[in-house]
Amino acid sequence: MGFASEYLGKHSFYKPFIMDAPQSGVSMIVVIPCFNETGIIDSLVSLFKAHRPSFPLELIVVVNSPEGSCSTITEQNKKTVVQVQQWSAVHYDPGFRVHVIDVPPFPAKHAGAGFARKTGMDEAVHRFNLLNNKQGIIVSFDSDSLCDSNYFTELEKCFSRPGIRGCTIYFEHLFGDDNSSQTGNPAIAEYELFLRYYVQAMRWAGFPYAFHTIGSCFAVNSGTYAAQGGMNRKTAGEDFYFLHKIFPLGGVTELNTTRVIPSSRISDRVPFGTGATMKRLAGKKQRELYTYPLVSFRDLSELFSRMPEFFKCDKKGMTKIIGQLPCTLESYLRKNDFVKAAEQMNKHSTGLHTFRKRFYVWFNALRLLQFLNFARYNYNDLPVSQAASSLLEKIDIPVLPGNSGLLQSYREMQRQTVWDI
């Protein structure tokens, strides 16, 4: 019985698709969901050209669709299966095996990136389970993404560090309508700036789990994946929910020494994210994204900095502390019965370290977002360029002109500073 047999028995929806046993020594499996995709070969070529790690690796392409898909989609999926099979036969390499699995149509209720990613990651766990390799690295990628040539070797170095359970991987969009051009799509620069400002503002506020959560840009070891119940079936945002189960465990870092290049194309496959934002902005003459103002994150920073004061504090004392916080934050905490929650944190905490962990289980990334939306009643959203400029000024980093200049500042800042827990 392997390390993940219990997980697979309880949580996997399918029996293994791949009948061939994994090669001895396989220590990395890249999972690539693929739905109605015409450019999968570009992604495979990019991965194939990357320098190999010191061990064999595998790729699992999960071709999927929801029940009731139109003939255009089903035909494209059939073409994709054949294309991948033909490509992998021509590019045969025992140290770089490519598997394509054509999964049955997903139930419409659950169909989407989450179910596809889960199917592929569970398949990877099954293969690592056969090898009894709980340190095997499961890498999440996308069928329209590219990578740098040191992608695999840097992942290997990252997971060779003691105690590493997972990582998020540095990314950059290309400023083009597709991944073949670096010009002509200013909206993607603004959207990436939106993502980077949000993460950097969380870090400035002192939130410990301030990582990017992008489906094509993370990896986790198979033992951790199975122990935490695996990937979810959410139609979108599956990466966010999954990674925020992993972050509180610790042993998570940023891998900033390589790069994933996600697609910047317009898409309607998911209700939010890059493709959906590009579609929304494409129809506007003035492309402008708005985001949460820095004042909302300033309020959070006051709460996070005073968090230790709530440890072993009685109800009267906690009420007093809350009354000293900014009015918007005070209202939010009262509305959400924070004092009662903090009493429970104290009841089950023997030390400040345990209390801190319980505090951020309660005030997690979802609650942080909930507060930011609550604060909109008092603080107006700002154009992302204005908010991003304000944060750079606060931390004494020169503000370069234009969204592309701002983005370059944020890229350099985030690539040079490794955030880990």
pLDDT along the chain (421 residues), means of 10: 92 95 97 95 98 98 94 95 97 96 89 93 98 98 97 98 98 67 63 96 98 97 97 88 95 98 66 48 64 98 97 96 97 97 96 97 97 96 96 92 89 94 90
118 contacts 31 by C-beta, under 8 angstroms: no
Residue 131 domain flag:
yes
Given 270, 288, 306, which residue is the final one in a domain? 288
**Residue 319 structural domain:** 294-375
The answer to whether residues 265 and 316 belong to one domain is no
Q: Are residues 174 and 257 in the same domain?
A: yes
- The dihedral over CA atoms of 71, 74, 75, 77, expressed in degrees to the nearest 10, equals 160
Tell me, yes or no, whether 246 and 359 share the same domain: no
CB 357 within 8 A of CB 261: no
Q: In terms of domains, do 304 and 280 share one? A: no
* Boundary residue ending a domain (359, 375, 391): 375
Of 288, 316, 350, the residue at which a domain comes to its end is: 288
Quote the number of domains for the chain: 2
Is residue 40 situated within a structural domain?
A: yes
pLDDT for res 143: 96
| 398 domain residue, yes or no | no
Residue 17 has what DSSP assignment?
Answer: S
Residues in the chain: 421
Q: 107 with 219, same domain? A: yes
The reply to whether 389 falls in a domain is no
Distance between CA atoms of 251 and 380, rounded to whole angstroms? 37
Cα separation values, 334 from 157, 207, 233, 339, 357, Å: 46, 20, 33, 8, 21
Instruction: Measure the CA–CA gap between 149 and 93, rounded to whole angstroms.
Output: 17
User: Are residues 266 and 298 both part of a single domain?
Assistant: no
Continuous segment of H or E residues that includes residue 282: helix 274-282
Does residue 277 belong to any structural domain of this protein? yes
Q: DSSP for 295-359?
A: HHHHHHHHHHHHGGGGTT--HHHHHHHHHTS-HHHHHHHHHTTHHHHHHHHHHT-SSHHHHHHHH
Do 267 and 308 lie in a common domain? no
Residues 6 or more apart whose Cβ sits within 8 Å of residue 97: 23, 56, 57, 58, 59, 88
Q: Is residue 394 part of a domain?
A: no
- Which stretch of DSSP H or E encloses residue 220? strand 218-221
d(CA 113, CA 118): 8
List of E strands, 123-179: 137-140, 146-147, 166-171
Q: Are residues 177 and 252 in the same domain?
A: yes
Based on the domain organization, do 42 and 66 belong to the same domain? yes
Residue 383 lies in a domain: no
Q: Are residues 98 and 15 in the same domain?
A: yes
pLDDT, residue 373, reads 97
CA dihedral 367, 372, 377, 379 (to 10 degrees): 160
Task: Answer whether residue 420 is part of any domain.
Answer: no
CATH classification at residue 70? 3.90.550.10
SS3 195: helix
- Are 198 and 317 contained in the same domain? no
What are the Cα distances from residue 199, in Å, to 52, 193, 318, 399, 409? Answer: 31, 10, 29, 18, 14
Residue 153 phi/psi, 5-degree rounding, is -65, -35
The distance between the two most distant Cα atoms of the chain, rounded to a whole number of Å, is 72
Residues 273 and 316 in one domain: no
